[in-house]
Structure 1
Amino acid sequence: MRLRSLSSRLIVYAIFGSILGYLTLPPVVVGGVLVSGFPGGLGSLDDLMRPRVGSIMLAALRKGADGERSIAMTDELRQFMSANPDFRFAAFDPRTGKALPGSAPELTKAFEGVGRLKLFRSPIEIAVGGSLRHGESAVFDSPIGEVVIATYGAKFQWRDFFLLPYRMTSIYGALIFLPHWAAMCLIALFVVDRGLAPLRAAATKVAKIDVNSLKERIAPEEAPSEVLPFVEAVNKAFERVREGVERQRRFSANSAHELRTPITILRARVGKMEEGPLKSEMERDVLRVQTIVEQMLLLAQIEERGRIAPQKIDLYDVALTVAADYVPIAIGNNREIQFEAPSRQVAALASRWSVDSIVTNLIANAVRAEPEGGVVIVRVLPECAIEVVDHGVGVAEADRSRIFEPFWRKDEATPGTGLGLAIVRELVDLLGGEIRVEETPGGGATFKVRLPAAGVEPGEATEAVALDVQPFDQRCERSA
């Protein structure tokens, strides 16, 4: 299984490398040092045979039923002597200095008369045939008791080099390395966490980039050199996306602008037709096409304008004016509009034409969704928000993030152009507000738009915040 976490990979690689180094590097380094520069040259490599010689000799020690100890010629010892003809060995009782049966005469003679042997490990030199032989004696705690083993003549061979990791390692040595491995794991976690911090910061910045902020880029100077190519590739990708979006916007705006004149001419010609069902249907179709074109042009203009300069406006007046203008259309479709608002001014930081367009599109959407004979509620809230409530089929939870996409409709039977809510979303974002859709109690959809509040100026009424619901014609008189 492939590890996805960079920290996990680094830890695994570090531990694997440490184990590999623990098993292979010591003999390689030791061998290289001894061959190249250590006093004694290649002959000093014979010292690397100590662990193997010791294990062979300990395995050859025996103790009889009478308690007498001796050295047996085991198969391993015989093979080792065949590979090392000059190899000699002996074992002694450290308390008496007496050689055990099976010991080489050369070593027995050399230690004769020494008596009690107290040295733990000591190099030895023995004259054999007029030449000195170098070896070693050491005290071992063997299965048959404490013994002194003396040897010489074990020669290092390169075939033994590859067995050095096995002979030089031990569980004790591995335990010594455990703190080292633990420290490496902690260091790996720290290094990865610190090293990826700029990448996480870049990811956070990228996550905030949307179609309205495609000019944003990741600062290359903040990225590590290892991920700099990735950062540059992401920046270039954003640049290509920005250019494509701008071309699409220009195309939409130009297309909508070019279509206005033919549609106007078509509408004029339809108006000259004789009255009848055909004329009514064609006028309705032409109006629908004109609405789509006008909304496309408005959407393109919104995107070109960018951030809207806010000014203080009264949400009550804007929402009331739009609702009053839409009453005839609602009545013509056998629907009603009810307006609710607090009795005091609700000041917002926005532009009047933007809020006008927002409320218009929300009311148009609600009137289409409202069942015949139903009531669409337009509500201004004291917390600088506007709600438009319908009692239709509502918006499914899965569709609530998609309804603000341009030209999105649930199905072909759904009325409308699919641009109204996209325009609302664009305007709300440019004003620095927020919009959400909720389920209307009893069924339907409630669209709530919250805009930045302008605050209350000195001398303005602040005590009345209850919603005022009056017959719609009374508020029309108030707005006049």
Structure 2
Amino acid sequence: MLAIALGGGLAAAVGAALHAATTLSDDGKADKFVAEFMGDVGWMFPVLAIAVLAVAAVTIRRSLKALRAVSAQASAIAPGAVALRLPTEGLPSELEPVVAAVNGALERLAKGFEIQRKFTADAAHELRTPLAILSAGLENLPTSAEVEHLCQDAERMNRLVAQLLRVARLDAQPMDLSQTVDLCEISSRVVEHLAPWAAKRGCRLAFEGAEAPVWIKGNADSLGDAVRNLVENAIAHSPAGEEVIVGVDATGCVLVSDRGPGVPAVDREKVFERFWRSRERRASSGGAGLGLAIVAEIARAHGGHALVTDARGGGAQFVLSLPRGDG
């Protein structure tokens, strides 16, 4: 309608200008024509400019809507979500080859992750049997300083293999978080299981549970792995004769306190990264830097988080914080 009105007005203006021009000389006709034309239709030019800009803005906005959707989907892609692909519906034809190439690269990346995960799991499984035979053989040897040292090396290797299997299980598929479990019960079982190992290393292991069950919506096996890794880490960094305290409070937190050297503030985010170890932690522990990374991943999968602070009286306190569920 706007175009028809503008066109009609323009035609009328041109006709009036031509009629007036027929009664004047050539120079006068030209001046009269231009003056009357500009007087009649000059107002149309700003309107036309605004209309063109509005149409261009709407067109560009609609064209970029699909591109914004692709950008949002791309920002969600992470090592834990490599199965996501960029959408191709509604894209301009010029962008379709680019998106197809990116999806192809993501597909190859996902296959690479799967090959790496399978290799890790297979290698860990293959190592379990010879390590069990090695540990059993060392226990049957006469006690000596050298044999004790070899037993400690075998113990560290067994822990590493167990952690590799846990990492492979975490990477393989999403956890089943449909269970409702008691965090106190899970933690007490872990403490009971690890108490002999702690005593063997010269540490005492204590448990302080909540007065009532602490119900969590999640996976019992994975939560047990997380608590076990926290306790093993605390025992590994505690001096002989000290006590490691495992507590569960009513808010849904597991607190593991040791009397070791603690964790400097600058390293408290890094300790939860895979394979990261400070120079001091490498010297004091034979771990590979996987245990705390497993804890952090399990916490994130349950909608919680893991952190480390200073313990009362010195040492470190690791906190596994989880949202409460219904019992």
TM-score, normalising length: structure 2 = 0.75
Specify whether residues 453 and 330 from structure 1 end up closer, same or farther in structure 2 by C-alpha distance, changes over 3 A only.
same
Are the counterparts in 1 of residues 307 and 318 from structure 2 also a CA contact under 8 Å?
yes
Among residues 284, 301, 308, which one is paired with 2:152 in the alignment? 284
Match of 2:289 in 1: 418
Specify whether residues 368 and 187 from structure 1 end up closer, same or farther in structure 2 by C-alpha distance, changes over 3 A only.
farther
Specify whether residues 272 and 379 from structure 1 end up closer, same or farther in structure 2 by C-alpha distance, changes over 3 A only.
closer
1:347 positional shift: 1.4
Rounded Cα–Cα distance in structure 2 between residues aligned with 1:235 and 1:338: 51
Query: Secondary structure of the equivalent of 1:273?
Result: coil
Query: Secondary structure of the equivalent of 1:212?
Result: helix
Rounded Cα–Cα distance in structure 2 between residues aligned with 1:293 and 1:266: 14
Query: Secondary structure of the equivalent of 1:209?
Result: coil
Rounded Cα–Cα distance in structure 2 between residues aligned with 1:444 and 1:233: 51
Among residues 401, 418, 435, which one is paired with 2:305 in the alignment? 435
The question of 1:351 aligning with 2:190 is answered no
Rounded Cα–Cα distance in structure 2 between residues aligned with 1:271 and 1:326: 19
Gaps of 5+ in 1: 1-118, 125-134, 141-169, 457-480
The question of 1:447 aligning with 2:315 is answered no
Among residues 151, 156, 168, which one is paired with 1:300 in the alignment? 168
Are the counterparts in 2 of residues 433 and 450 from structure 1 also a CA contact under 8 Å?
no
Specify whether residues 423 and 188 from structure 1 end up closer, same or farther in structure 2 by C-alpha distance, changes over 3 A only.
same
Rounded Cα–Cα distance in structure 2 between residues aligned with 1:192 and 1:373: 71
The question of 1:243 aligning with 2:114 is answered no
Gaps of 5+ in 2: 1-19, 32-37
Among residues 79, 88, 97, which one is paired with 1:211 in the alignment? 79
* RMSD (Å) for aligned C-alpha atoms: 3.5
Query: Secondary structure of the equivalent of 2:101?
Result: helix
The question of 1:322 aligning with 2:193 is answered no
Amino acid at match of 1:238: L
Specify whether residues 222 and 380 from structure 1 end up closer, same or farther in structure 2 by C-alpha distance, changes over 3 A only.
farther
Give me the identity figure in percent.
31
1:239 positional shift: 0.6
TM-score, normalising length: structure 1 = 0.54
Rounded Cα–Cα distance in structure 2 between residues aligned with 1:297 and 1:349: 24
Amino acid at match of 1:396: A
Match of 2:265 in 1: 396
1:290 positional shift: 1.9
Task: Specify which structure has the higher proportion of strand.
Answer: 1
1:205 positional shift: 2.2
Are the counterparts in 1 of residues 295 and 306 from structure 2 also a CA contact under 8 Å?
no
Specify whether residues 372 and 269 from structure 1 end up closer, same or farther in structure 2 by C-alpha distance, changes over 3 A only.
closer
Rounded Cα–Cα distance in structure 1 between residues aligned with 2:134 and 2:93: 62
Rounded Cα–Cα distance in structure 1 between residues aligned with 2:113 and 2:262: 34
Amino acid at match of 1:320: S
Query: Secondary structure of the equivalent of 1:342?
Result: coil
Aligned length: 297
Rounded Cα–Cα distance in structure 1 between residues aligned with 2:173 and 2:73: 24
Rounded Cα–Cα distance in structure 2 between residues aligned with 1:139 and 1:288: 100
Are the counterparts in 2 of residues 223 and 231 from structure 1 also a CA contact under 8 Å?
no
Match of 1:266 in 2: 134
1:344 positional shift: 1.0
Query: Secondary structure of the equivalent of 2:271?
Result: coil
Are the counterparts in 2 of residues 121 and 136 from structure 1 also a CA contact under 8 Å?
no
Are the counterparts in 1 of residues 180 and 326 from structure 2 also a CA contact under 8 Å?
no
Task: Specify which structure has the higher proportion of helix.
Answer: 2
Match of 1:257 in 2: 125
1:310 positional shift: 3.0
Query: Secondary structure of the equivalent of 2:318?
Result: strand
Specify whether residues 454 and 184 from structure 1 end up closer, same or farther in structure 2 by C-alpha distance, changes over 3 A only.
same
Bigger radius of gyration:
1
1:328 positional shift: 4.2
Amino acid at match of 1:436: A
Query: Secondary structure of the equivalent of 1:247?
Result: helix
Rounded Cα–Cα distance in structure 1 between residues aligned with 2:30 and 2:165: 99
